[in-house]
């Protein structure tokens, strides 16, 4: 392979992360190695076929780019001023140089963050007009017109729900970090029921204690809960009586009439039963997720979902008889071995089931997933094909009356694309929009859950993370409760 070595000399971890991601926009990640070393740059210079040298000083940056393709076109930039205040300018310079020798793989320009639409909201809040914002996205971030259109469409839709920010209302998130089996692509800190199921009863006790404590703190702070999201993992890993116990414990502490949305990410069809759906309905759950990921039986088997497409259809038909306000279905484009014909067929089958929401993800090869560990056993889809799959999916969804209402990006996504939530008009999920735009307080309970306490007038939020591991969460529970007191201190 024509391996390329990129060398960066610097000491700021945040910037290293940004730069690494930016370089990946141009060069397939397996084809380069990013070396962070302040000492050995000469050695690397000798071996490099393709190099980027960046020297950071107190008040200037020396930046050199070279490649065997343009060796005689060496460029040296010296940037005055501190790096942090010039981060975007610097990223644009890297982009300008790389684009001389490589075609960008992404339409997102220098933007590598996971919440693109947040930028639009911030610009609107600063008083910029819409055409001004388009110009900024193009010139300051190098974002391509079709992605700008998408950002603007989503921002407009979200604003009706998110503004003005009501500081009295709070969303509540609960994490059930258990799943019947582990999917190959997943990196969520979820536990296999077969191995860790013995902890489930104690976990449920603790979670109930935490959530009741949190609700009391929210009320003491003079706030109220208007949105609940039970996610995971797979919340329907709990049996019907356990679900009843959990919902009842929540119900006894709050006024359900104030809820605008109550979601349970049931997720895996193989965990959903009539009894569990009845419990959800009885406690006012009005939005559930039944996630196929794909409707291709071979792929379902390969990714470890433990069920076929037939059970997705059956569960969906059963769920419809309960008349939840909204059902969401998640799909992942670019699953191993799939072609555009497969993804189109999946989308059409899902559209035929008529859910109110469909969320389109593109595969992200996460470090902590079995897919990454075992990569040589999977036939990964190419960036170009996933790009085509996404465009095809978008056209099919728009044709059937679903339009984008929220979006996020992830690290290591094939094709450097985006995940987009589609909804029928009036069925947009409040929680999904809130979590992306970070203007609203979310109090999160359970292992791995992260609360965000927002102070919108200062455009600031505080992140409070619970222990990720199940054992830590259970054994250090006093600390978990202690951290929850911050709700009442803000």
Ligand X SMILES: C[S@@+](CC[C@H](N)C(=O)[O-])C[C@H]1O[C@@H](n2cnc3c(N)ncnc32)[C@H](O)[C@@H]1O
The footprint of ligand SF4 (CB under 6 A) covers 179, 182-183, 186, 188, 190, 232-234, 267-268
Q: 173 or 188: whose CB is closer to ligand SF4?
A: 188
**Which residue number is nearest to ligand X in terms of Cβ?**
267
Q: How far is the CB of 57 from ligand X (least distance, A)?
A: 39
- In the list ligand SF4, ligand X, none, the entry touching 150 (Cβ below 5 to 8 angstroms by class) is none
Minimum CB distance to ligand X smaller for 141 or for 178: 178
Question: Which has the closest alpha carbon to 354: 310, 303, 392, 319?
Answer: 319
Q: Give 109 or 232: the residue with its C-beta nearer to ligand X.
A: 232
- When CB distances are held under 5 to 8 angstroms depending on the partner's kind, the choice from ligand SF4, ligand X, none that residue 158 binds is none
Q: Specify the residue, 118 or 268, whose C-beta has the smaller distance to ligand SF4.
A: 268
Q: Closest CB to ligand X among 227 and 335?
A: 335
Instruction: Return the ∠ at Cα 371 (arms to 369 and 375), rounded to 5°.
Output: 130
Place of tokens 């005055």: 80
Beta carbon of residue 179, minimum distance to ligand X (angstroms, whole number): 6
State phi, psi for 479 to the nearest 5 degrees. -65, -35
Q: How far apart are CA 384 and CA 145, in angstroms?
A: 18
Q: To the nearest whole angstrom, how small is the minimum distance from the Cβ of residue 8 to ligand X?
A: 27
Min dist. Cβ of residue 413 to ligand SF4 (A) = 15
Beta bridge partners of 465: 450
- Report, in Å, the least distance between residue 89 CB and ligand X: 32
Closer residue to ligand SF4, CB minimum distance, 284 or 336 = 336
Angstrom distances, CA of residue 456 to CA of 28, 224, 261: 38, 17, 22
Residue 174 beta carbon to ligand SF4: minimum distance, rounded to whole angstroms = 14
330, interface contact from ligand SF4, ligand X, none, CB < 5-8 Å by kind: ligand X
| Nearer of residues 185 and 283 to ligand X, judged by Cβ | 185
Q: Which does 182 bind (CB under 5 to 8 A by kind): ligand X, ligand SF4, none?
A: ligand SF4
Phi, psi of 329 (to 5 degrees): -130, 125
Phi/psi for 367 (5° steps) reads: -55, -40
**264, interface contact from ligand X, ligand SF4, none, CB < 5-8 Å by kind:** none
* Residue 21 binds: one of ligand SF4, ligand X, none (C-beta under 5 to 8 A by kind): none
How far apart are CB 69 and ligand X at their closest, in Å?
A: 33
Closest to 330 (Cα-Cα) out of 302, 314, 353, 301: 353
Residue 265 interacts with which of ligand X, ligand SF4, none, CB < 5 to 8 Å by class: ligand X
467 in helix, strand or coil? coil
Q: How far apart are CA 82 and CA 251, in angstroms?
A: 52
State the nearest-atom distance from the C-beta of 369 to ligand X, in Å: 6
Q: Among 103, 75, 79, 102, which Cα is nearest to 91's? A: 79
In the complex with ligand X, the residue whose CB is nearer, 362 or 451, is 362
Binding site for ligand X (CB under 6 A): 185-186, 188, 231-234, 265, 267-268, 291, 293, 330, 332, 361, 363-364, 366
List CB contacts of 200: < 8 A, sequence separation 6 or more: 178, 193, 237, 238, 242
State in angstroms the smallest separation of the CB of 487 from ligand X.
24
Closer residue to ligand X in complex, CB, 186/318:
186
DSSP letter (8 states) at residue 304: T
């Amino acid at each position: 392979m024509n391996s390329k070595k990129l060398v960066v000399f610097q000491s700021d971890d945040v910037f290293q992360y940004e730069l690494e991601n930016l370089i990946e926009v141009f060069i397939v990640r397996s084809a380069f190695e990013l070396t962070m070393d302040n000492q050995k740059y000469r050695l690397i210079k000798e071996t490099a076929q393709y190099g980027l040298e960046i020297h950071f000083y107190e008040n200037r940056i020396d930046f050199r780019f070279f490649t065997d393709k343009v060796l005689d076109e060496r460029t040296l930039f010296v940037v005055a001023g501190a790096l942090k205040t010039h981060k975007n300018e610097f990223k644009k310079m890297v982009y300008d140089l790389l684009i001389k020798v490589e075609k960008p793989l992404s339409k997102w320009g220098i933007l590598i963050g996971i919440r693109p639409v947040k930028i639009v909201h911030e610009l609107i809040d600063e008083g910029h007009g819409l055409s001004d914002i388009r110009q900024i996205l193009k010139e300051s971030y190098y974002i391509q017109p079709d992605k700008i259109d998408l950002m603007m469409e989503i921002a407009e839709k979200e604003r009706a729900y998110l503004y003005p920010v009501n500081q009295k209302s709070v969303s509540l998130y609960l994490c059930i970090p258990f799943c019947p089996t582990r999917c190959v692509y997943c990196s969520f800190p979820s536990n296999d029921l077969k191995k860790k199921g013995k902890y489930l009863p104690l976990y449920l006790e603790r979670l109930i204690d935490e959530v009741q404590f949190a609700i009391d703190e929210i009320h003491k702070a003079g706030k109220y809960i208007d949105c609940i999201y039970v996610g995971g993992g797979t919340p329907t890993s709990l049996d019907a009586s356990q679900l009843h116990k959990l919902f009842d414990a929540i119900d006894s502490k709050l006024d359900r009439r104030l809820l605008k949305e109550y979601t349970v990410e049931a997720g895996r069809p193989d965990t959903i039963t009539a009894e569990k759906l009845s419990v959800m309905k009885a406690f006012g759950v009005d939005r559930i997720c039944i996630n196929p990921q794909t409707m291709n039986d071979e792929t379902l088997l390969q990714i470890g979902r433990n069920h076929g497409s037939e059970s997705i259809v059956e569960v969906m038909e059963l769920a419809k008889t309960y008349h939840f306000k909204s059902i969401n279905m998640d799909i992942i484009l670019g699953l191993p071995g799939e072609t555009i014909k497969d993804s189109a067929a999946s989308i059409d089958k899902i559209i035929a089931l008529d859910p109110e929401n469909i969320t389109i993800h593109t595969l992200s090869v996460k470090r902590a997933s079995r897919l990454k560990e075992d990569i040589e056993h999977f036939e990964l889809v190419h960036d170009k094909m996933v790009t085509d799959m996404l465009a095809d999916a978008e056209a099919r969804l728009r044709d059937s009356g679903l339009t984008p209402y929220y979006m996020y990006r992830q690290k290591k996504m094939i094709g450097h694309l985006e995940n987009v939530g589609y909804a029928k008009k009036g069925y947009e999920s409040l929680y999904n929009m809130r979590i992306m735009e970070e203007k609203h307080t979310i109090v999160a309970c359970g292992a791995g859950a992260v609360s965000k306490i927002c102070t919108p007038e200062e455009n600031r939020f505080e992140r409070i993370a619970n222990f990720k591991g199940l054992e830590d969460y259970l054994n250090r529970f006093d600390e978990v409760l202690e951290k929850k007191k911050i709700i009442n201190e803000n």
